[in-house]
């Protein structure tokens, strides 16, 4: 009985992770497809000039389209940051201390926070676009906005809140100590807590999408790697501050 159960648990574990990474890959493929569309817009603007953008404003992305785009970004960029937490919970599932469905409830709680962020980001993009500060392709058309976002992200790297969130994110096992419950509601709640901590770490870096291009795949890939390195401790406290100084310097350079 035991010998026959262990392989089943291993197969279920492999399937969970395969589906998880397939979802991330799907989000990145969808972002790549959107990137091609926005690349065509940029080519059109270079050929037709400002008249192209004025003509395009009537068919600019709607709020639902912006929300879908930001949601894909959140899944593609931030779901990988949840791997340490999910791996910790999956070890508990493998040890039969947790329900396997809790893995997905945990992930759902984590992503719920980032989908809420996506809602706010899409609203901000729409407002900035209507104010003429962001182009229809999601890139900043204002030097002041670009400089301000770089300064904000750089300054936030030095704040106590940023470092407190980073310390908490680097110890995912603490999320389950003291009040362990094996319910789906518990898993969802803990995922939401982790999502909030992750948001506390990364919101300012995500906001740089407005400065460097919402659909800039190079920025998204680099930002994802930086945020994962910060959360796992690979970058270190000094690296976080060096990044902050670099962003502040970039802000000054853009402004001048």
Give the residue from 123, 108, 85 showing the smallest Cα distance to 201.
85
Least confident of 42-56, 75-89, 162-176: 42-56
Assess whether pLDDT exceeds 70 at residue 4: no
Q: Taking a C-beta distance cutoff of 8 angstroms, is the pair 81, 231 a contact?
A: yes
Total-model pTM: 0.86
Q: How does residue 34 score in pLDDT terms, banded at 50, 70 and 90?
A: confident
Specify the higher pLDDT residue, 176 or 255. Answer: 255
What distance in Å separates the CA atoms of residue 151 and residue 204, rounded to the nearest whole number?
Answer: 10
CA 200 to the chain's CA centroid: 11
Q: Taking a C-beta distance cutoff of 8 angstroms, is the pair 113, 106 a contact?
A: no
What distance in Å separates the CA atoms of residue 24 and residue 254, rounded to the nearest whole number?
Answer: 33
Residue 205 backbone zone (phi > 0: left; psi -120 to 50: alpha; other: beta): alpha
Assess whether pLDDT exceeds 60 at residue 62: yes
Please provide the average confidence, as pLDDT, over all residues in the chain.
85
**What is residue 55's predicted lDDT score, i.e. its pLDDT?**
47
Q: Taking a C-beta distance cutoff of 8 angstroms, is the pair 195, 113 a contact?
A: yes
80-124 per-position pLDDT tens digit: 999 999 999 998 888 888 888 999 999 999 999 999 999 999 999
Assess whether pLDDT exceeds 60 at residue 5: no
Residue 236 backbone zone (phi > 0: left; psi -120 to 50: alpha; other: beta): left
Assess whether pLDDT exceeds 70 at residue 42: no
What does each C-alpha distance from 143 to 86, 106, 248, 250, 253 come to in angstroms? 40, 40, 14, 12, 10
Q: What are phi and psi of 82, to 5 degrees?
A: -90, 0
Query: What is the total residue count of the chain?
Result: 256
% helix, strand, coil for the chain, step of 5: 85, 0, 15
Q: Taking a C-beta distance cutoff of 8 angstroms, is the pair 133, 145 a contact?
A: yes
Give the residue from 145, 131, 115, 114 showing the smallest Cα distance to 210.
145
């Amino acid at each position: 009985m035991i010998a026959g159960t262990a392989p089943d648990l291993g197969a279920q574990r492999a399937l969970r992770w395969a589906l998880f990474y397939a979802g991330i890959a799907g989000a990145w493929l969808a972002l790549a497809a959107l990137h091609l569309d926005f690349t065509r817009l940029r080519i059109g603007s270079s050929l037709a000039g400002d008249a192209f953008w004025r003509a395009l404003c009537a068919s600019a992305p709607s709020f639902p389209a912006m929300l879908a785009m930001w949601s894909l970004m959140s899944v593609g960029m931030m779901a990988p940051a949840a791997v340490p937490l999910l791996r910790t919970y999956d070890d508990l599932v493998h040890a039969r201390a947790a329900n396997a469905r809790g893995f997905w409830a945990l992930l759902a709680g984590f992503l719920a926070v980032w989908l809420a962020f996506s809602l706010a980001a899409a609203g901000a993009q729409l407002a900035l676009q209507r104010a003429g500060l962001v182009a229809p392709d999601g890139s900043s058309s204002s030097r002041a906005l670009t400089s301000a976002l770089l300064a904000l992200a750089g300054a936030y790297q030095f704040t106590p809140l940023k470092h407190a969130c980073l310390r908490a994110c680097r110890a995912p096992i603490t999320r389950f100590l003291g009040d362990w419950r094996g319910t789906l509601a518990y898993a969802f709640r803990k995922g939401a807590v982790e999502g909030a901590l992750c948001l506390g770490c990364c919101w300012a870096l995500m906001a740089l999408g407005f400065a460097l291009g919402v659909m800039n795949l190079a920025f998204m890939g680099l930002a994802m790697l930086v945020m994962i390195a910060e959360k796992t401790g690979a970058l270190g406290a000094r690296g976080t501050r060096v990044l902050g100084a670099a962003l502040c310097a970039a802000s000054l350079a853009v402004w001048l």
